[in-house]
Amino acid sequence: MTVLDNELQNLLAPVVTALGYELVGVGRLSQGGHQTLLRVYIDSPDGIKIEDCERVSYQVSGVLDVHDPIAKEYTLEVSSPGLDRPLFTLEHFIQFVGHQVKVCLARPISGRRHFTGMLQRVQDRNVIVEADGTEYNLPYDQIDKAHLVPSF
């Protein structure tokens, strides 16, 4: 997570929590040109409906307008994490031990950056994933993106 992503997470978490939801994470994607997509993932034990996203979007928009943490134009999108839930924190990885995950690293380990396999455990800030019959210790600090792989 970048410094700005951490700032956004810290800024928005109290707002989302006060509305009765969990802030799963915040992600920014550059969309060719000048505009950025700011995606805010929320969840609740009862699931997320469109009305929940609208409610959170309204409040988050106000906070972002006041604090103005993003210098350029952006589009705000509030959504549920979905079946391919992104994993943002070590706690997320701990919560989903035993599930299939896809992890992309910022720098290669063992000659590769992409790992898809079973999340075995979290140990000493390392995420251990079994992929292709081999266990890989993936340093949490080097994880660029990670998400669950849905099973049907």
Q: What are the pLDDT digits (tens) for 38-94? A: 999 999 999 999 999 999 999 999 999 998 888 778 899 999 999 999 999 999 999
- The whole-angstrom separation of Cα 76 and Cα 135 is 38
Could you tell me the domains of the chain?
A: 3-79 (3.30.300.70), 90-148 (2.30.30.100)
The pTM for the full model equals 0.85
Q: Does residue 32 surpass a pLDDT of 70?
A: no
- Residue 77: partners with Cβ closer than 8 Å, 6 or more residues away: 37, 38, 39, 40
